[in-house]
Amino acid sequence: MEKDKLIHLADHSAEKTNACGIDRILGAVTKALNQIVLSLLFTSAICSSAIATEVKPLLNFDARILPNIATKGMVATQESRATKVGVQILNQGGNAVDAAVAVGFALAVTLPRAGNLGGGGFMMVYDQKSKKVEALDYREKAPKAAYRDMFLDKGLNVDKKKTRYSVFSAGVPGTVAGLLEAHRKYGHLPLEKLIEPAIKLATELPMSFAMAESLNRKKKYMSRSKVSLETYYKADGSAWNIGDTIYQPKLAKVLAGILKSNGNSFYKGDTATKIIDFIKSQGGIMTMDDLASYRPVWRTPLEAKFGDATIYSMPPPSSGGIHLVQLLNIIQNFPIERAGHNTAYSVHMSTEAMKFAYADRSKYLGDPDFVKIPVKKLVSVDYAKTIASKISFDKVLESSEVSPGMYLSDESPQTTHFSIIDKDGNMVSNTYTLNFSFGSGITVPGTGMILNNEMDDFSAKAGVPNGYGLLGGDANAIEAEKRPLSSMTPVLVLNNKEPWLETGSPGGSRIITIVYNFLMNKMVHNMNIASATVAPRIHHQWYPEVLMLEKGFPLDTAKILKQKGHKIKFYNPWGSLQSVEMKNGVFFGFSDTRRPGALAEGINSLAEEAK
Ligand code: DON
């Protein structure tokens, strides 16, 4: 192996030294206690260099869990077959966006509970050549005939069945337009290479444990729609087993149509007609014009500094970026590193910060094309300082003591994430969704495609919580062609202006704090991405007034928090982060272990180069 490859493997921040020899390197290792240097594998070559480098570890061996390691790119998704499609595209010379587009279509087949054609999402792209980060908004929109009180019944109560499980639940789907737009702008390989793997998987797919489990578990939910039952379940009514085969010929045809017509079939042609005929037959309001006029939008990402790192995240209509930045800004006022990970102090301070962030969310956040959001103020360091000054370890604030924008000066369960990085350092961080697991549960006849229930992300009535317990008001009220407010938080992080980290998760309202917990674990507590992922999570969203702790959170610490006055509840683990990291040319990947079937896999050239 040549010298410059080795230098890559050492951390850039390593001190230069003239000393050479394994003793010297082992000395450094001993000093760092049980940290072991990945680059030790290449010690002899390092020593032949004129100026040796005292290497810092890329991976500390102080954790019980390590990520996957590779040298030429990494793909982390919720479903192993989709991950393999991404890896295959990178191997064929595709870039991160090519792989993302292929993964996006593949997940629509292999992860029907969240992967989708009938939903929407957000994609963050880092382009290594221009060093630019862009955010693609392909969130669903309300149909043109939608209106503020459309989900209120005669008694002016929210009709939850209508918001969540009917053809009215669906926003105009954005996924197909979004994936095609990402490809148009950044793609390198022809579209057919990116859609064909999904067509193949739809034609014939062996049932995995994870897919069988999720379909069997949700059979009752899906049985509201006869077509969902016919599409996703066996004709004899028996349960799915591992090793069975599922055939999705209608979905394969829709995908082939998209490929052949560059999306026109979906928004204007064959598939569009099927979607609208069905929705109309059920009395719904979406029209051919709604589909034909749908466009994704490139938006400027939100940017925040944290030490040497710059975090890029999704601006509105996601609330994710704003509140992630807000939380990070607030927490930087406290000595969290010294206090330690998940100690009573750290959890308390984060919890109080979360109350302020979610209170602001309820009032100010909505579709930026419709409402004026005080973004600059919300993400400003000064505003965070003011909030921080109201937070103290001595007091637990009641939710009623916190109200939206209190210190802001006047001015007018299912989603899925994937993270991909290619050998050149281009990155894609994408979260997309049908909203609930299997969306509305309604499959459009003749398409094999499930409709989202994203309209429930609007505030159907001020003060009435949505499916995730979130409150909202005017800013997120329903309007024609408006995008419902989202919590999806795909992030990209650069370190010293170089690609470093990307992550994202499902989890409804908890997505923002899942990503926050992870970034704190990485940036403050210096964990590897595997440890940062599996560490027990905490969440508070102002209302309901409860500090949610994951099972596995230390009981003694929970006791201290309870004694302080926090209203604590333990919950089953939540979220599913899909993360990749790059350090000095080495790629790390990790798929959350909270749900089955996920896979982080890289392209590894080490074996070949060693020959
Ligand atoms: O956009 C949003 O915030 C929600 N529709 C996300 C839903 C979700 O994460 C469900 N997954 N557990």
Write the pLDDT tens digit of every residue in 526-538. Answer: 999 999 999 999 9
Residue in 434, 488, 576, 595 to alter for ligand 1 test, most ligand atoms within 8 A of Cβ: 488
- Strand ranges across the sheet with 120-127: 297-299, 132-138, 120-127, 427-433, 415-422, 73-77, 599-602
- The encoded tokens of residue 282 equal 């059920």
Q: Which residues line ligand 1 (CB under 6 A)?
A: 413-415, 433, 435, 454, 457, 486-488, 506-508, 511
| Predicted TM-score of the model (pTM) | 0.89
Quote the ligand 1 centre to 66 CA distance (angstroms). Answer: 28
Q: Whose CA is nearest to atom 8 of ligand 1?
A: 508
The yes-or-no verdict on residue 22 having pLDDT over 80 is: no
Q: Which of 107, 123, 433 for mutating ligand 1's site (highest number of atoms within 8 Å of CB)?
A: 433
Give the number of other CB atoms < 10 A from CB of residue 24.
15
Pocket test for ligand 1, best of 313, 511, 512 (most atoms within 8 A of CB): 511
pLDDT digits (tens, 9 = 90+) for 243-300: 999 999 999 999 999 999 999 999 999 999 999 999 999 999 999 999 999 999 999 9
Residue closest by Cα to atom 2 of ligand 1: 486
Q: Whose CA is nearest to atom 12 of ligand 1?
A: 413
CA of 277 to the centre of ligand 1 (A): 27
Whether 528 contacts 468, CB under 8 Å: no
Mean pLDDT to the nearest integer, 179-187: 98
Least confidently predicted of 34-48, 195-209, 501-515: 34-48
Q: Ligand 1 centroid vs 437 CA: distance in angstroms?
A: 9
* Cα 414 to middle of ligand 1, angstroms: 6
Q: Could you tell me which residues come within 8 angstroms of residue 391 by beta carbon, excluding any fewer than 6 positions away?
A: 330, 334, 349, 352, 353, 397
Comparing CA positions, the residue from 442, 465, 425 lying closest to residue 160 is: 465
Closest ligand 1 atom to Cα of 456: 5
For residues 55 and 51, what is the distance between their CA atoms, to the nearest angstrom? 12
Question: What gap in Å lies between CA 175 and CA 451, rounded to an integer?
Answer: 12
Which ligand 1 atom sits nearest the alpha carbon of residue 413?
12
Mean pLDDT (whole number) for 459-488: 92
Q: How far is CA 456 from the centre of its chain?
A: 19
Q: What gap in Å lies between CA 512 and CA 321, rounded to an integer?
A: 8
511 CA closest ligand 1 atom index = 9
Q: Confidence class of residue 414 from pLDDT cuts 50, 70 and 90? A: confident
pLDDT tens by residue, 204-228? 999 999 999 999 999 999 999 999 9
Q: Cα of 497 to ligand 1 centre, how many Å? A: 30
Helices (H) and strands (E) in the chain, counts: 24, 21
503 is annotated as an active-site residue = no
| Distance (Å) from CA 222 to ligand 1 centroid | 18
Closest listed residue to residue 251, CA positions, set 234, 266, 269? 266
Burial class (CB in 10 A: 0-12, 13-18, 19+), 217: exposed
Amino acid occupying residue 206: P
Q: Answer for the pair 84, 601: CB distance below 8 angstroms, yes or no.
A: yes
pLDDT top residue among 4 and 189: 189
Closest residue by Cα to residue 503 from 541, 529, 538: 529
Minimum-distance ligand 1 atom for the alpha carbon of 484: 1
Kindly report the CA angle at 538 between 537 and 541, in degrees rounded to 5? 135
**Would you call 46 helix, strand, or coil by DSSP?**
helix
Give the position, in ligand 1's atom list, of the atom nearest the Cα of 457.
Answer: 5
Q: What is the DSSP string of 384-426?
A: HHHHHHT--TT-PPPGGG--TTTTPPP----EEEEEEEETT--
Q: Which residues of 276-295 are buried (b: 16+ CB within 10 A; e: fewer)?
A: bebbeeeebbbbeebbeebe
Tell me which residue has its CA closest to atom 5 in ligand 1: 435
Euclidean distance between CA atoms 427 and 97, whole angstroms? 8
pLDDT on residue 50: 44
224/215 Cα distance (integer angstroms): 14
Cβ atoms 600, 589 nearer than 8 A: yes
- Give me 568's structure tokens: 């604590």
Q: Which of 506, 493, 587 is nearest to 90 (CA)?
A: 587
Q: Is the peptide bond before 317 cis (omega within 30 degrees of 0)?
A: yes
Distance in Å, CA 355 to ligand 1 centroid = 19
pLDDT of residue 407: 63
Task: Work out the pLDDT band at 86, boundaries 50, 70, 90.
Answer: very high
In angstroms, the first-to-last Cα distance of the chain is 10
pLDDT in tens, 547-579: 999 999 999 999 999 999 999 999 999 999 999
246 CA from centroid of ligand 1 (Å): 26
Q: Which two tokens stand for residue 536?
A: 């027990």
Residue tagged active-site, from 110, 163, 271, 415: 415
* Averaged pLDDT, 113-129: 98
Stretch (H or E) spanning 559? helix 555-564
What are the angstrom distances between the C-alpha of 96 and each of 101, 187, 506? Answer: 9, 8, 21
| φ and ψ at residue 234, rounded to 5 degrees | -75, 145
Q: Name the closest-CA residue to atom 1, ligand 1.
A: 486
Mutate to test the pocket of ligand 1, among 468, 489, 577, 592 (most ligand atoms within 8 A of CB): 468
Output the average pLDDT for the chain.
90
